[in-house]
Amino acid sequence: MLGVNTNVNSQVAINALSQNQQKMSTAMQRLSTGIRINSAADDAAGLKVASRMTAQIEGLNQAVTNATHATSMVETTEGGIREISNMLHRMRELAVAAQNGTNHAKDIDAMQAEFWQLQAEIERIADNTQYNGINVLNSPTARTFAIGAYGESLRVDMYDFQTKQTPVTVNAAAVTNADDKITVSGHGYSTGDALVFTQASSTNMGLTSGSTYYVIKQDANNFKLATSYDNAVAGTVQALANNGADGQTFTRWSVYGTNIDSTSISVSSSSNAASALWAIDTAIAGTDSARASLGAALNRLSYAINSLGNTKVNAEASRSRILDTDYGKETAELARTQIIAQAGVAMLSQANLQPQSILALLKG
């Protein structure tokens, strides 16, 4: 049927051009943004998967940052302990040298002067080594680092390398001579801790004022004493006298649980130097243990960072397959739709010319 009011062919061409224009716009948007899914309408299911993977990738990025910061903190801690360990080794050399019978009194004085300086520097490092304003060598609380995309954590033990305690007063009633036990509620000591004893009167519990004794822990409220760290570990108890008096005190001033301050050990004489070796060897063992633990944590953090990096790369690759534009495919689609658009315009022009044939009938 020939008609003028309704040009079906023109409407068909216009509809085809409209649909083709939508596809061309989609291809151009994907090519200009680099993203295949620019709205939920493009791929609702794919958008949900890509969004979930984006959250995972962002978590992985932050976990890598957290692990890097944790590494820096642990390295700072281990670096401080390393210097303390180096000084302890030098103190041990001095303690051994001071026992040699060839030393002049001035030699001993020089050794003691260096010994004091090393003790003071150990205390300074222990009190002032910080990371991000946090003291890391006098904070025994373990720190937890978030090193996973979903909050997985790594717990790293921290160490108290400089603990000054208020002297604990021991009265006569706290001493049980029958089994050489001292009762102090919640004393907080561990076996091997070194305590400096201070005599309060002319009578004491059979101990030497100013000397260092080592804890044999019985329970939270009771402990015994030994004359050396090895004796404490072996359970060899220091006998207590029956003439104890009120007001005796014990003070723990320790570097990793070992007295090495100037009030407890020195190299001022051969006998003092020999006694100092016990405390220094214990402190060295403590620093070695701490460094080994921190070294293990550093290794784990290194592996964690590598693993997080690999996981992030794989997650980004997976998201890319879902979310990113395939430029080869979309450029081909753009070329196709552009050709169709040109053809569609030509056909619309032809469809609009068809009603002109009716004029020929009218002229006849």
Q: What six digits make up the tokens of 327?
A: 């430029």
In which residue are the tokens 């260092």 written?
Answer: 212
SS3 of residue 135 by DSSP? strand
For every residue of 72-113, DSSP letters joined together read HHHHHHHHHHHHHHHHHHHHHHHHHHTT-TT--HHHHHHHHH
Provide the 3-class DSSP secondary structure of residue 142.
coil
Whole-structure pTM over 0.75, yes or no? no
Q: Which of 91-105, 185-199, 309-323, 335-349 has the lowest mean pLDDT?
A: 185-199
Q: How confident is the model at residue 99 (pLDDT cuts 50, 70, 90)?
A: very high
Cα–Cα dist 258/280, whole Å: 8
Report pLDDT for 253.
63
Report the candidate in 118, 130, 143 with the shortest Cα–Cα distance to residue 80. Answer: 130
* Tens digits of residue pLDDT in 214-231: 889 999 999 999 988 778
Q: CA–CA separation, 359 vs 348, rounded Å?
A: 19
Please name the residue that has the structure tokens 């001095």: 94
Q: What is the per-residue pLDDT for 283?
A: 83
pLDDT (mean) for 33-49: 87
pLDDT digits (tens, 9 = 90+) for 245-263: 678 888 776 555 555 666 5
C-alpha to C-alpha distance for 255 and 261, rounded to whole angstroms: 8
Determine which of 75-89, 138-152, 180-194, 297-311 has the lowest per-residue pLDDT on average.
Answer: 138-152
pLDDT at 195: 82
Average pLDDT over residues 133-138: 85
Q: What DSSP string describes 178-204? A: TTTEEE-TT----TT-EEEEE--SS--
Lowest mean pLDDT among 20-24, 130-134, 197-201: 197-201
